[in-house]
Structure 1
Amino acid sequence: MEIKTKLTLRRFVERFSYGCGDFGCNIIYTSMTAFLLFYYTDYAGVSAAAVGTIMLVSRVFDGISDIIMGVIVDRTKSRFGKARPWLLRMCIPFAVSGVLLFSVPTGWAQTPKLVYVFITYNLASTVIYTAINVPYSTLNALMTQDPYERSVLSIFRNLLATAGTLIINTFTLPLVEFFGNNASAWTKTFCVLGLLSVVAFLINFFGTKERVKTVEEEKTGEETVVSFKEGIKALLKNKYWIMITVLLAIFFLNLSISGGATVYFAREILGDSNLVATINSTMNVAQIVCMFLIANFVKRFGKRNVFAAGLVVSIVGMLVLSYSGGSAALIIISSIIRGIGGACGGATMWAMVSDTIDYGEWKTGYRTAGLVNSACSFGYKVGSGLGSAMLGWILAAGGYIGGAAVQSASALFSIRICFVLIPIGVYVIGLIIMKFWKLDKEFDGIIADLKERAAK
């Protein structure tokens, strides 16, 4: 009994330590999405239009750096493994880059400020965030080949990612207020938050272990270095990787569009912009609670079925919110429903990415964990950048006028397109893709075959 208790405790500690990595990532990622533009325009005095252009252009560089980092991870050799060394190497630069983002010299002229923004934004996002996030995303597949354990790791990842988001959304502005509510207050705030991210990544590094080796490593003790060209060819032969990459791209496109449209929907459709906090916080809390309960459903029904069920639940939640008529009770109910749907996706999506790595090795003979995750990252970053741009395009096409007391019918419909119709369309596409996802049923046979090859 004592041995079992120790094993259970050790397993929990490793799962928690793994989740701390996304907690650390979200300290900066959520800050960039939720507060960076606000800081640039209202405290640093930088043009919103110019910053928007910089962010959109930077997505191209960001996607390329993801692929490069994926190749680097696959070729990394150290006593700590392939992914973990990068968590240790980059955690302090990651925190420093976050501080630099919120340290624009306010006394500079507009052009030098924009140069500073371009350099620090790309340093933080394109270089350092990529250098720590791609290895972190790869770590799941290197820790275990057990499909249930991968799902549990994904659950802890999303639990702590959501916790990181809640901390940033809850404490950033109060900390800025505490430090004086001026430009330098933001720098001081992110010194505190940056230190928190370093602690999270150190827990992530010291609390996890890489165990999975390629078939070639198991047989000879040496790993074959896969060229970039061969790695890309292998990806294109991996049908499940293509499916999950498309899913990630359209899901993050949807998150950018619907997330950005929330404030417009609350203010113009529901009639109260303060409902944004109610909608988002209720959804996040429901997602966290559901995460504690969902592991048994994944074990019983499989990742694909839980993911698909989450899509259906999310559609129901969107419809309830869309036709709530501003009713507080229905808004809360719809947010809870959407939180449950989000938990289903959060508990399974990243584990499904890891499963495609094993399928790819079985199909092609090449195990390219870093490249698989970096290419997925490229897909969802492109989707996210395109989604941010599409939100503005659709609102402009509908004739939305910022600050107008009354919006036109076409402007209101454009908001509904962004907040309701596009998400439902994305969820339906996800259901169609899941119709062809058979990997859950095939996975045990694939792992058995890989072990048999390693034993020969």
Structure 2
Amino acid sequence: MNEKRKLTPALLFERFCYGCGDFGCNIIYTAMSAFLLFYYTDYAGVNAAAVGTIMLISRVFDGISDIVMGMIVDRTKSKHGKARVWILRMCIPFALAGILLFSVPASLGSTAKLVYVFITYNLVSTVVYTAINVPYSSLNALMTQNPYERSVLSIFRNLLATAGTLTINMVTLPLVEFFGDNAAAWTKTFAVLGILAVIAFLLTFIGTKERVHSVAEISGEAEPVSFAEGIKSLFANKYWIMMTCVLALFFLYYAVNGGTTVYYAKDILGDKNLVSTINGIYNAIQIAAMFFIAGLVKKFGKRNVFSLGLILSAVGMLVLEFGGSTMPVIVISSVIRGIGNACGGATIWAMVSDTIDYGEWKTGHRTEGLVNSACSFGYKIGNGIGSALLGIILEIGGYVGEAAVQSSSALFSIRLCFVWIPIVVFIACFVILRFYNLDKEFDGIIRDLHERAAGR
């Protein structure tokens, strides 16, 4: 069920190619988190609260599609495996859907624009993103059962995800300005970025290999797990429940904080182009910190490294809130938060993959697709709530996209979303992780699974 592999150029290339998948995903995910609401309010002329409500409602459809896609992955049989084949099939539709997302026709009336937003947002989030991200998320557990290698793969995933986030944050607004700084410029920008996403996904497809099979598959006794059995197995898996809750909270934080950055730069710091500086430092530090995380994980375990990251992220936010809104404080805060987020990003997906093995050990059912799709449902719910919360809070605070100067209540709402909601999320995640003990149990679980496979 598992194989030890020496560090070779081929292994390094496979790790890199695996990480490229999240680089591609972040072309759209980061754009949706950091710029979509800004594009809707300031370029397309769409009401922020209405958009936030659409994003939240869409999560209902999104949850259904996640579960369906998870079941499809678990039942997929092809010469390319369960997951990789879907990355190949969906990479071009992914790029095209991203272009449509940032192409609200200027000629439409207010209601028609909301209809267009509803349709394209659901096309991207509910259909296309799900159809490529669920298989990609399943790939880690299908490539290896070695817990250290999973952590390294997660580090490469986060490195390339951060590189994708950094790319979007650094080039989006400059590209928009280059193409004319109007609504049409956003369409052209995401045409360019869509091509980049397709290249990244093709690297993932070409450069990775699925090696892990369930005990039942090895013995030739594998049968499709029914939906009812699969769901029952999920809720018998206490560690999956914990990680799903953590993911939901973490992505709520990403949506609220990431979506507020452009407002924070424009209305509090006085220059929207400082988004590139703030996120550039944050992401560059996160990338640099990744090179030290593997050693920490090996010594202290995934849970403890993740918990350390939550503490650092909260400290970084407090430095920002009480240090004053000056550039030196922004830099210090971004450095601390970058290190903190590196700890979480390098461990969270490996922890999800570990819950798959725990689930097989406890229930006899190995369902990579369903586990990751259900996690995806959880974090998309968190992201949807975060996006809706951001829009609603800005609306309550009296934010006006066209205003030269925002009111004090609008500025407070921006600070609330950028600093205090994330701190609450970090505290909640830290408490949940106190009950996660799978790091200590994992080696015994894998030995038992190997013995079961050998005994059949």
Q: Does residue 157 of the first structure (1) align with residue 157 of the second (2)?
A: yes
State the alpha-carbon separation in 2 of the partners of residues 263 and 102 from structure 1.
17
Kindly state the Cα deviation for residue 39 of structure 1 after the two structures are TM-superposed: 3.7
Write out per-residue CA displacement over residues 254-274 of structure 1, whole angstroms, 9 at most, x where no aligned residue: 222233444565677778766
Distance 1:444 1:275 in 2: 46
Report the CA distance shift for 1:7/1:252 in structure 2 as closer, same or farther (over 3 A): closer
What is the TM-score of this pair, normalised by structure 2? 0.90
Alignment of 1:265-276 (within 5 A): 276=275
Q: What secondary structure, in the 3-state scheme, does the structure 1 residue paired with 2:192 have?
A: helix
Q: What does residue 383 of structure 2 align with?
A: 384
**1: CA distance between counterparts of 2:443 and 2:300?**
15
Q: 1:276 to 1:39 in 2, by over 3 A?
A: closer
Map of 2:36 onto structure 1: 36
1:188-203 equivalent positions in 2, closer than 5 A = 188-203=188-203
The aligned runs of 1:68-217 (5 Å cut-off) are 68-217=68-217
Other-structure match for 1:357: 356
Tell me the TM-score normalized by structure 1: 0.90
**Unaligned regions of 5+ residues in structure 2, if any?**
none
User: Is the contact made by 1:271 and 1:326 (CA closer than 8 Å) also made in structure 2?
Assistant: no
Q: Distance in 1 between matches of 2:355 and 2:64?
A: 21
Q: Which range moved further: 258-267 or 371-380?
A: 258-267
**1:241-288 deviation per Cα after TM superposition (whole angstroms, max 9, x unaligned):** 011011111111222223344456567777876655443221111101
CA contact (8 A) 2:166 2:279 kept: no
Q: Percent identity?
A: 71
Matched residue, 2:315: 316
- Aligned in 2, Cα 1:97/1:333: closer, same or farther, shift over 3 Å? same
Bigger mean CA offset, 44-53 vs 281-290: 44-53
Q: Residues 325, 272 of structure 1: CA spacing in aligned structure 2 closer, same or farther, 3 A cutoff?
A: farther
- Kindly indicate whether residue 350 of structure 2 is the aligned counterpart of residue 374 of structure 1: no
One-letter amino acid matched to 1:309: L
Q: C-alpha displacement at 1:118, in angstroms?
A: 2.5
Partner of 1:14: 14
How big is the shift at 1:390?
2.5
Q: Would the alpha carbon gap of residues 186 and 388 (structure 1) be closer, same or farther in structure 2, given more than 3 Å must change?
A: closer
Letter in 1 for 2:137: S
User: Matches of 1:434 and 1:232 in 2, distance apart?
Assistant: 23
Matches within 5 A, 1:275-290: 276-290=275-289
Q: In 1, Cα distance between the equivalents of 2:166 and 2:74?
A: 33
Give the drift of 1:130. Answer: 0.4
Contact map agreement 1:134 1:374 (CA 8 A) in 2: yes
Deviation at 1:420, TM superposition (A): 3.3
Residue 244 of structure 2 contacts residue 378 of structure 2 at CA under 8 Å; is this kept in 1?
A: yes
Question: Could you say which residue in structure 2 is the equivalent of 1:325?
Answer: 324
Task: Give the 5 Å matches for 1:244-255.
Answer: 244-255=243-254
- Closer, same or farther: CA 28–394 of 1 in aligned 2, 3 Å: closer
Find the aligned partners of 1:290 and 1:284 in 2 and give their Cα distance. 10
Larger displacement relative to structure 2 (68-77 or 164-173): 164-173
Residues in 2 aligned to 1:12 and 1:247: alpha-carbon distance in whole angstroms: 29
Aligned to 1:225: 224
Tell whether the 8 Å contact from 2:73 to 2:369 is kept in structure 1 after alignment: yes
**What do the CA deviations read for 1:201-252 (whole angstroms, capped 9, x no partner)?**
11000100001100001112x4221001011100101000011011111111
Q: Offset of 1:42 from its aligned partner?
A: 4.6
Distance 1:312 1:87 in 2: 35
The residue type paired with residue 78 of structure 1 is: S
Q: Is the 8 A contact 1:270 1:325 kept in 2?
A: no
Amino acid at match of 2:420: L
**What is the alpha-carbon distance in structure 2 between the residues aligned to residue 262 and residue 96 of structure 1?**
26
Look up the match of 2:297.
298
Native 8 Å contact 2:48 2:392 kept in 1: no
Give the AA of the match of 2:299. R
Q: Post-superposition shift, 1:383?
A: 1.0
Q: Which residue of 2 aligns with 1:434?
A: 433
